């Protein structure tokens, strides 16, 4: 591991960060997870307001750190965590929009793969299109935990979109290829994990539906996303 820390984005040392990091997009959700779930949580980063904490869950060290919104943002933070701080596993805990009628509000989706309309993968100089996929180690255990906890879940392909407001309104065209939900970060995370030889999984709770138009409020997301968070924490404990 390179002695390249602190970085411009993470003011910490490897000893400050656990081998497993949960990554919500929102810094306030990182703060909420640390304060509500972790014992002895310590703030290790607040550069640009991107809060990162390390504490213990059921006696096991775990970190939680925000990723910001979009692939460029999670691309920076996951790259630095994997390559400079010795992190082995990153579990994204975020929200997603359902793209199938059987995927309901507050269901949990596990991203087995992540399609994208981004050019993020072009940096790797490949003669074709790379297919970003999750770590099977994390995915298989996450599914078992969901079954044990009685969580309504779906496993499938996500769409990591570069745009939240799409002028072409073609997002739903991905559904015909079996894509189950849209979010904005997983593909970059999976690509960085593949390049670094590390593990990644995106776990998202459905916050709105592109089919029905139903949506949750910010307050509802904070109050009802607990199943996803506790599942991710238990997942991190087993690594």
Residue 224, pLDDT above cutoff 70:
no
pLDDT of 223 reads: 66
What pTM does this model have? Answer: 0.95
HSE at residue 188, side-chain half, CA atoms within 13 A, is 25
Query: Do residues 185 and 116 make contact, with C-beta atoms less than 8 angstroms apart?
Result: no
Residue 56, classed as helix, strand or coil, is strand
- Choosing from 16, 26, 107, 208, the catalytic residue is 208
Residue 53, pLDDT above cutoff 80:
yes
What percent of the chain is predicted at pLDDT more than 90? 89
Q: How confident is the model at residue 221 (pLDDT cuts 50, 70, 90)?
A: confident
What percent of the chain is predicted at pLDDT more than 70? 98
Tell me: the pLDDT tens digits for 129-180?
A: 999 999 999 999 999 999 999 999 999 999 999 998 888 878 899 999 999 9
Q: Return the number of other C-beta atoms located less than 10 Å from residue 147's C-beta.
A: 10
Residue 94, pLDDT above cutoff 80:
yes
Q: Which of 93, 37, 39 is nearest to 66 (CA)?
A: 93
Which whole number is the average pLDDT over 111-118?
97
pLDDT of 36 reads: 96
Angle (deg, nearest 10), helices 226-237 and 136-149: 130
Q: Catalytic site residue 162?
A: no
pLDDT of 219 reads: 76
Q: Return the number of other C-beta atoms located less than 10 Å from residue 223's C-beta.
A: 10
Residue 238, pLDDT above cutoff 80:
no
In the structure encoding, which two tokens stand for residue 213, read together? 């138009």
């Amino acid at each position: 591991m390179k002695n390249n820390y602190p970085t411009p984005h993470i003011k910490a040392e490897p000893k400050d960060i656990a081998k497993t990091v949960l990554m919500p997009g929102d810094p306030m959700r990182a703060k909420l997870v640390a304060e509500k779930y972790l014992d002895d949580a310590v703030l290790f980063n607040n550069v640009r307001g991107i809060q990162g904490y390390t504490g213990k869950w059921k006696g096991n060290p775990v970190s939680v750190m925000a990723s910001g919104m979009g692939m460029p943002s999670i691309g920076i933070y996951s790259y630095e965590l994997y390559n400079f701080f010795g992190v082995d596993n990153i579990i994204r805990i975020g929200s997603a929009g359902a793209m199938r009628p059987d995927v309901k509000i507050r269901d949990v989706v596990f991203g087995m793969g992540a399609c994208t309309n981004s050019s993020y993968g072009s940096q790797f100089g490949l003669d074709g299109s790379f297919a970003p996929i999750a770590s099977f180690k994390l995915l298989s255990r996450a599914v078992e935990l969901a079954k044990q906890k009685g969580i309504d879940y779906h496993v499938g392909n996500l769409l990591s979109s570069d745009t939240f407001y799409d002028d072409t309104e073609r997002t739903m065209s991905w559904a015909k290829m079996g894509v189950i939900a849209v979010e904005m970060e997983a593909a970059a995370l999976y690509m960085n994990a593949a390049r670094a030889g590390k593990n990644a999984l995106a776990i998202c709770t459905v916050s709105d539906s592109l089919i029905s138009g139903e949506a949750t409020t910010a307050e509802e997301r904070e109050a009802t996303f607990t199943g996803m968070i506790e599942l991710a924490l238990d997942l991190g404990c087993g690594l």
